[in-house]
A and B are shown apart, each in its own frame.
Chain A
Amino acid sequence: MKFRAKIVDPACLNHFTRVSCMVAKLARACTLRIRPQKLNFILADTAAGGGVSMWCELPQENFFSEFQMEGVSEESNEIYVELTSENLFRALKTAQNARSLKVKLTNKHFPCLTVSVELSSASNSSRMVTHDIPVKVIPRKLWKNLQEPTVPDSDVSIYLPVLKTMKSVVEKMKNISNHLIIEANLNGDLNLKIESELVCVTTHFKDLGNPPLAPKASTQDRDPEQMVEVHVDIRKFLQFLAGQQVNPTKAVCNVVSHRMVHFDLLHEDVALQYFIPALS
């Protein structure tokens, strides 16, 4: 099992740091999956995490100038390691304005992801900063829990509004209730709603547009105005919104009535999927 990769381009370095920041905000611990073409940050759905799951995928050649890997075996050329996302983000934060960044899987008494940063200084000599991030190698028998989640057929698929507006609305709503109702229809309407004894607040977003849905019998003959709703934990939704520092190139919300809400985001070449289950 081998992995070593290098980033030299400052823009790529910046982008990679931003991705790690987003991952750190969405999941405390995550799985890094390394394949010859792609990297994934995965948060599997567990009872302890309240059923939230995340799938983030980036093509390696858009980030790394050098990339070598050797999986556990020839036929399963993959590596799965578990790490604390905050550790990776903190290591990458020191790489701002760095000349280069190397990431390597090492074994220093225990398995580590070693991040070496070459920083330029006023004099011509450069400085090296090395972070050893402890990782846990995940055995092959557990890989099956870490596969790309299948998106269930959604009842409504809708483009999301500017995430910053949504974030400030949800932040205020969180002060009043823990329980958020997300409603959407096939007419481009999305409502965020909270209800408590003291106050009911509904924010209406209009004309958002709906991406074409996979043809499904039940949606064909449905009234486009009819709302489909899902109740979620407001903190989990806010956590997702807080993780989005820049507005994504594409953001779609898929609502499965009373079961879950699925967010499908694209930041340039980084794809993020985030699932929040419905509250029972």
Chain B
Amino acid sequence: MPLVPQRAPEQSDCGLVASLDNVRNLSTVLKAIHFRDHATCFATKNGIKVTVENAKCVQANAFIQAGIFQEFKVQEEPVTFRINLTVLLDCLSIFGSNPVPGNLTALRMCYQGYGYPLMLFLEEGGVVTVCKISTQEPEETLDFDFCSTNVVNKIILQSEGLREAFSELDMTSEVLQITMSPDKPYFRLSTFGNAGSSHLDYPKDSDLMESFHCNQTQVNRYKISLLKPSTKALVLSCKVSVRTDNRGFLSLQYMIRNEDGQVCFVEYYCCPDEEPPESES
């Protein structure tokens, strides 16, 4: 490992420099994808993408666009590294997860390049915290090849409509079955647990439904254990787009509004579990 600088490195020799007046604009979005310990970060001049994966079946991406930061510079793109997300979040919230209103934590972040640690400088009320987090070899991330031209069904819902459904999912069911159809039941969430099956229908003209574009009836099952972590993003978001493509792959896109009114997106991809039995209605 190269020698680690004691002071903040000069901007010129930093692969990535970013600063932020309110660290929560970053930490909130990262919390939405925090369901595994490790994350891969990609930085381009457009912003940072942070990816978390599980079981080669589910992938979550958080996009923090450059405009969220007060200063954002990338020298040679793309800058890629793997990091312990749990540690990163602990560091970002070092001054407390629920700070007093009007008491903001500012952040300056530097990553010199391959083999160097990620340096964080956090400041609140004159107190400064310096964190040096080791980075790891970036891992290849999955390509779900989810292409908008192959999307069969797409709906946009207000998140509050799904929030209760997801937080109360019957976890004794192995799968969550999603039915999307141009005809009744339009949009249905089903579970098949120890205490019986449950179906939750959303009518197409519901107030919660922002847009409804379903072209053909699709019934797909997804491992509930893989989808459950997306509740974290759901809770933080205001709108969610649910899409499926011709292979039955699911894309959930969450729109998260931060404390400054800016919008960030978090996206979950999940592959289907198996073909549903014919008899199921």
Cβ of A206 and Cβ of B87 under 8 Å apart? no
Q: B96 — nearest CB in chain A belongs to which residue?
A: A168
Cβ of B87 and Cβ of A198 under 8 Å apart? yes
Given A198-B84, A200-B132, A172 and B127 touching (CB < 8 A)?
no
From 122 to 145 in chain B, residues with beta carbon under 8 angstroms from any chain A beta carbon are 124-134
The reply on B35 being an interface residue by CB < 8 A is no
Main secondary structure of the interface of A (DSSP, over half): mixed
A55 and B87 alpha carbons, distance in the complex (Å): 36
Cβ of B134 and Cβ of A202 under 8 Å apart? no
Cβ of B127 and Cβ of A201 under 8 Å apart? no
A202 and B133 alpha carbons, distance in the complex (Å): 12
Cβ of A169 and Cβ of B134 under 8 Å apart? no
The reply on A243 being an interface residue by CB < 8 A is no
Given contacts A168-B94, A204-B127, 8 further A-B contacts (CB under 8 A): A165-B124, A169-B95, A176-B87, A200-B131, A201-B94, A201-B130, A204-B128, A206-B127
- A-B contacts, 5 listed (Cβ < 8 Å): A169-B94, A172-B91, A197-B134, A201-B130, A203-B130
From 86 to 118 in chain B, residues with beta carbon under 8 angstroms from any chain A beta carbon are 86-87, 90-91, 93-96
From 195 to 242 in chain A, residues with beta carbon under 8 angstroms from any chain B beta carbon are 197-207
List A contacts of B87 (CB < 8 A): 176, 198-199
Q: A195 — nearest CB in chain B belongs to which residue?
A: B132
Cβ of A172 and Cβ of B130 under 8 Å apart? no
B74 to chain A, nearest CB (A): 23
* Interface footprint category on B: 20 to 34
List B contacts of A197 (CB < 8 A): 134
Cβ of B95 and Cβ of A199 under 8 Å apart? no
Cβ of A201 and Cβ of B129 under 8 Å apart? yes
B interface residues (Cβ-Cβ under 8 A, vs A): 84, 86-87, 90-91, 93-96, 124-134
Given A168-B94, A175-B90, A203 and B127 touching (CB < 8 A)?
yes
Cβ of B127 and Cβ of A205 under 8 Å apart? yes
B212 to chain A, nearest CB (A): 44
List A contacts of B131 (CB < 8 A): 199-202
The reply on A161 being an interface residue by CB < 8 A is yes
From 86 to 124 in chain A, residues with beta carbon under 8 angstroms from any chain B beta carbon are none
A55 to chain B, nearest CB (A): 29
* Interface footprint category on A: 10 to 19
Cβ of B96 and Cβ of A199 under 8 Å apart? no
- Choose one: A173, A176, A204, A207; the contact of B130 (CB below 8 Å): A204
A5 to chain B, nearest CB (A): 39
A220 and B128 alpha carbons, distance in the complex (Å): 29
Cβ of A203 and Cβ of B128 under 8 Å apart? yes
A217 and B125 alpha carbons, distance in the complex (Å): 36
What 3 A-B pairs have minimum CB-CB distances, sorted nearest first? Answer: A168-B96, A203-B129, A200-B132
List A contacts of B93 (CB < 8 A): 172
B54 to chain A, nearest CB (A): 21
Digitize A143-181: 1 where CB-to-B-CB distance is under 8 Å, 0 elsewhere. Answer: 000000000000000000100010011001101100000
List B contacts of A201 (CB < 8 A): 91, 94, 129-132
A204 and B131 alpha carbons, distance in the complex (Å): 11
Q: B120 — nearest CB in chain A belongs to which residue?
A: A201
Of the candidates A197, A200, A201, A206, the one having the most CB atoms from chain B within 10 angstroms of its own CB is A201
- Choose one: A175, A200, A206; the contact of B126 (CB below 8 Å): A206
A203 and B125 alpha carbons, distance in the complex (Å): 12
List A contacts of B95 (CB < 8 A): 165, 168-169
A187 to chain B, nearest CB (A): 15
A202 to chain B, nearest CB (A): 5
Given A197-B134, A198-B84, A198-B134, A203 and B126 touching (CB < 8 A)?
no
A201 and B134 alpha carbons, distance in the complex (Å): 11
Q: A162 — nearest CB in chain B belongs to which residue?
A: B125
Of the candidates A161, A172, A202, A205, the one having the most CB atoms from chain B within 10 angstroms of its own CB is A172
List A contacts of B133 (CB < 8 A): 198-199
A173 and B125 alpha carbons, distance in the complex (Å): 19
A139 and B134 alpha carbons, distance in the complex (Å): 56
List B contacts of A175 (CB < 8 A): 86, 90
Q: A196 — nearest CB in chain B belongs to which residue?
A: B87
Q: B128 — nearest CB in chain A belongs to which residue?
A: A204
Q: B125 — nearest CB in chain A belongs to which residue?
A: A165
Cβ of A202 and Cβ of B126 under 8 Å apart? no
A168 and B96 alpha carbons, distance in the complex (Å): 5
B60 to chain A, nearest CB (A): 22
List B contacts of A173 (CB < 8 A): 94
Q: B129 — nearest CB in chain A belongs to which residue?
A: A203
B27 to chain A, nearest CB (A): 12
Cβ of B134 and Cβ of A161 under 8 Å apart? no
A120 and B66 alpha carbons, distance in the complex (Å): 62
Cβ of B90 and Cβ of A203 under 8 Å apart? no
A176 and B89 alpha carbons, distance in the complex (Å): 11
Given A169-B129, A176-B87, A204-B127, A199 and B134 touching (CB < 8 A)?
yes
